[in-house]
Structure 1
Amino acid sequence: MTTDRDTAVVSAALRDVAGGIEPKPELARIVRRRGRARRRRRTVLSAAVAAVLVLAVAGGAVQWYGIGRAERGPAWAVAWEGTRGDLIGDRAYVDSVKAAWKGSHRASDNASRGIFDDLRGEPEVTWAARTPAGRAAVVTQRALLHRHGDLAPNDAGRMATLVGFVSDIDGRPTVLDDDYGPGGAPEVTGFFAGADRSTLVVIDFTETMQVSTRREYHPDGTVTRDWQPLPFHDGVAVVAVPKDTDATQVLAATDPAQPLQYRLANLADEICCSGQDRRLQWNGGYPLTGPDTPQTDVAGWDVCRTLAADESIGVDPAFPSSRPLWCATGTTPDGRSVSVGEKQIADDPSYLYYALGSGTAIRYGNAGSADAGKPLPVLFALPDRQGYVAVRKDATLRYKIGNGPWQGERRNAALLPPEATEVQVTPAGGQPTVVPLR
C-alpha cells in the first residue's frame, strides 16, 4: 500500500535530480509505480527455471523516464535495474564481463560518437546467466554525452546509460554490441547470444512480447509472420532460434501490427537484404488478350497499378518489398479483368501475384514463383476455370487442344483457354519447345 508520504519522498528525490525544479505529481506517481514493478521482478533467475523456448518451424514511440535532458537511457537500463541471472553471484565471471566492457570501447561502432569519452562511475553487470549458447550478460554504465561530429545534436549534453551486450566467444566474455539510447531510435529489446547467434535474450518491456523468425506466404496473396508469445520468467525470455534462421529476419514486438516497434542488438552492421533482385527483368506491360503489342515505360508501369498499389498482398511491413517490374493484363472468358505481376520481399524468392476482377470483387492470389530457367517462366492456371496465364518476353506462344492444330499465336503473353492441353514456346531466334498443361 502506498501513501502520500511515498509520493512526497519520490518528489523530493526528483527535485534533487532536477536541480530544484518542482516535478508534477503525475511524474512522481509514475516513478513510484515503476519502482514497485521493478522490486517485484528482482528475483534472481536460476538456470533451473530459465525459460527456454525452441521455436517450431511450422508450415510506438519510445517513452523515456527522466527529468528533462538530465537523464535519458535505454529502457534496458530501467527494466534491468537490480541484479538477476544465475551467474550474477559468480564474481570471477562478473569481473571478466566488466573487463571485457572496458576493453571494448575503442572497437565499438559508437566510439565515433564519443559516447565513451566521459564515463561516470564504474560499470555494473545487471544480468548474467547461462543460456543454450553459453554464458551471457548485460552491463551498464552512465556517461555524459558531449557534442561530437557523429552524435546527433539532440543527444548531446545529457546523461545517458550505456548498455553492453555480452556473450562468450571462444570461451571468453565478448561485448557483441552496445547502445546509448539515441533519440528517435526504436528501443533495444534483446540481443543474440553465441557466436552463431543461436539464442535470443529478450527483456519483458510488457507482458505481451512476441517473437517472429520467419514470414509465411499464403495462396490468397497475403503474407504473415509466425508470431509466438515469449515465455518470460522474472522478466526475461531466453529463446533458442531455429537452425539456419537469418538473424536479420527475427523480430520482437508487443504488437505484431507494429513490427518495428523495437530493435535487436548486434545486428547494426548488417543489412537485412543483399539487394539481389530475383524478379524477371522484363520491364513492360504485356497484354494477355486483344492486340499483343507490349507497353513500355510509363504505359507499361500503368498497367501494373492494380497489383502495385495494393499493400495487402506480397508485403511484409517490416522489410523492403519490391513492386512489379512487369505486368500482364487481359480479360477472362467470363468478362473479368486480370492482372499478373511479381513482387519480392527482402531476399526471398519473388512470387507471382494476380488480381482477378475489379472494384470490391477483386480476388487476389499467389501463383508461386517464376522460373527464368524454364522455357515458359510464367505458367499457372487461374481459378474458376478461367484459363492458363503464359508469359515469356519476346517469345511466340500458341496452344492446341488434344490432337487439334496449333492456334492462337501471340507474342509475349497469352491467356490460354482452360481446355488447352499444350503450349508451344518459341523464343526470339530460338527453337520451339512444347510445354504440357496437364
Structure 2
Amino acid sequence: MLKLILVGLAYCGLFHYAYVTTITPIFAYAHYVYNDPAIDGLFVAYVCAVFPLALFKESPLPSNFGAALLYVLCYAPAQLMLLFMWEREALELVVLQTVLAASMGALFVMARSGGGQQIEASVEPAKLSMTINVLTGVSMLALFATFSGQMELVSFNDVYDLRSTAASTQRAFGVDYLLSWMSYSFLPYYFAKGFLSRNWRDLAIGVVGSMLLYIAMGSKAGLLLGPIIFLVGVIYGSGGNALKRLLIGVGVGVAVTVLVIPGEGIWIWARSILLIRILGTGGWTMSTYYEYFTSHQFTYYTHIGPINAIFGGYPYGEYSLGQMIGLEYSGSYEANFNANFWASDGFAALGLAGIPFATAALGLVFYLINVLTRHCAPRLVVMWLTGFWLALLNLPLSVAILSGGGLVTVLLIQASISRRVPDPDFAQADALKISSFDTSFKK
C-alpha cells in the first residue's frame, strides 16, 4: 500500500507540474485558471488525492479496473484542480475535498464486490458475435441513411463545422441510440476481441466503423478508440497491479507530453488530447459545475429524463446542464460542457449533498457489472467496456449507462449465456476463470 501511495504522490506531482508549466499558459483562453495556493492548501489537496489508495485492493474484477481508471484520469487531477481554480472560503474547499476523498474510497471498496458468486452458465461466443454483427450492420445502415449526403474526410481544424452540420441533421427515431451504442459498445467489442484473438477481420471492422463515425459526425474520439482499447488491455494484463501500471503509464505520458512534445503547430493538438481532453476536463467541469450550481438552482435530479418526465420541474428549460455551463463560461448555448457523475449527479443535483447519492448509484453499477459479466473472460469485459469507462469521465451516470454502452454491453452478455452447467470441476472455481472466451481467444 505504501508503494502505491508513493506512486500516487509522484503522479499528482507530475500533473501539478504540467498544470503550472503547460496547461495554464497554453490553455488559459479555455478558463484553466491557476490561483497560486498556500502550503496548507497543497497539503490537504495531496492528502485527499492519495487517501483513497489506502482502500484500494487488487482484483481482476472488471469494475475494479474501471474504478482505477476513474481515479487516475479524473479523481486525482480533479482534487488538485479544485484547489488551483478555487475562489471561495478555504474551509468550504476542505469539506468538498474530504467528501470527494470518501466517495472515491467507497467506490474502490464497492468496485471489488460481486465477484464471488457460483457460476452455472457461460457465454456462447458465436451467439454473442452474431448478435453484435447484426446490430453493427443495422447501425451502419442507419448511419449511411442519415448522413450519406454529407460525409466528408476533413482536417481536425474543420471537424467542428462537420459536427455542427451533423448535429442539425434530422434523424429517425432511435438512430441516436444506435450510433451511440455503435461508438461505445459495438466497435469496442470488435477491437477487444480482435486484439485478444489476433483476428484481423474484427480489427478491420473496428477501424472502418471508427472512420465512418469520423467522416459522418466528426468523432475524433472514434479515431483513438482502437489504440485506447489496446492500451487498456496491456495495462490490465491479468488484473494485478493495474492501478500502479496506470499511474506510472499515464505519469510517463504526462512527462513526455510536457518535456518532449513541442508546444507549437499540430503538436498542440497532441498535447491537448492528454492534458486537456483526458486529464483536465474532469477537474475543470467539477470546478465550474460546483461554482455555478451552488450559486443557482439545483436540479434535484430532474436533469435525468425519466425523472423530469414524471415529476417535472427541471429549472433550465430546454437547455442541458452542459449548455448552462457553456453559456456561463463561453457565452453561448452552442458550447456544451457535459460532465461526470460527481459534477452532474452530485453538484448540479444537490450540491455537496448529492455526492453520497451519486457514489451509491455508481457503486451499485460497479457491483452489477461484476455480477452480470462474470460469465465472460474479465480481460475481454474490461476492454469491451472501455467506451463506458470513458463515458463515466464525461457524462452523467444515467447517460453513460443508457447511451454510453454500459447497459447494452451487459445485456448483450446476458443474452448470449448458455444455461448449460459447466464442468463440475469448475463449478466452485473463481467465476472469473470460467468462460468459453478463455479458450476461443487462444485458438
* Bigger share in helix: 2
Of structures 1 and 2, the larger Rg is shown by 1
Higher RCO (CA 8 Å, separation ≥ 6 residues): 2
Q: Considering the TM-score relative to the shorter chain, is it more than 0.5?
A: no
TM range (shorter): under 0.3
